[in-house]
Homo-oligomer: A and B are copies of this chain.
Amino acid sequence: MNPLFLITNDDSLQAKGIQTLISVARRIGDVIVMAPERNSSGLAHSFTSSRPIRVNPVSQEEGCQVFVCDGTPVDCIKVSSEHFCPRRPDLVLSGINHGSNSSINVLYSGTMGAVLEASVSGLDAIGFSLLDFRPDADFSLAEPFVESIVRKVLEKGLPEQVALNVNFPVPSQGAYKGVRICRQSRARWLESYERRIDPHGRPYYWLAGRFECDDCQTDTDQWALENGFVSVVPTTTDFTDYQNLERIKQLYA
């Protein structure tokens, strides 16, 4: 039986990135696509329970059924598994995101929200992102890496409750040098809200900000991406800080 992929993203079905992912997956197996109806960037792990969600079929071909959902990327995963997958998916794919989900961006990402949700549900899952947020971003360098990573994960599987966060450097830097398995770099967004006045004299605040990362050791995703490598970070949904657990016990005993 063909492997079954469940595919989503947070940029919606119109995005070039998800179309690239679908075409890679169709070369390997059967595909269910459940994409959010609207751009859902920055929705992180949010989900919908206080109102119902809708699912609309877009197209149905042999081996590829496409739906859109008016919920979040996490909703896409939740509702698909129960109502729209003919069998348990072998692998969940999310992306390819237009824009970075490396480092601390993983926290805010709808693309990675879907991946972590799949992982919690016991499904193998990979999130793909390209460090170019433009609608016409060039995924041609990324595509063969997507295919080889997908084939490897299908073949070898992932440890339980571990997902992969894969990021691709800006294509303009030239051919990718290879794949680095690494840790999430420590960073933050330095926020800055612009305070403006609306036509009625009332203030509003609009988020700007710039990414600040001073943790670029060679074992980090930032280092890999800045040096032309594809970064792969194994991610967990266990937020326990094991490195500080004993310290906290001593401090607060």
Contact = CB atoms under 8 A, between A and B. Distances in A.
Interface of A: 39, 41-50, 52-55, 74-75, 78-79, 81-83, 104, 106-108, 113, 116, 120-122, 152, 156, 158-159, 161-162, 164-165, 179, 181, 183-184, 186, 188-189, 191-193, 195-196, 202-207, 232-245, 247-249, 251-253
A242 B196 CA distance: 44
Contacts of A251: 156
A104 B243 CA distance: 19
A164 B158 CA distance: 30
Nearest to A77: B191
Contacts of A244: 159, 162, 234, 236
Nearest to A121: B188
Contact of A152 (B122, B165, B252): B252
B47 A42 contact: yes
A200 B156 CA distance: 47
B48 A46 contact: no
Contacts of A44: 43-47, 113
A182 to B, nearest CB: 8
Given A205-B55, A236-B240, A191 B82 contact: yes
Given A113-B44, A162-B241, A242-B183, A83 B236 contact: no
Nearest to A161: B186
Most central of A164, A234, A243 by chain B CB within 10 Å: A234
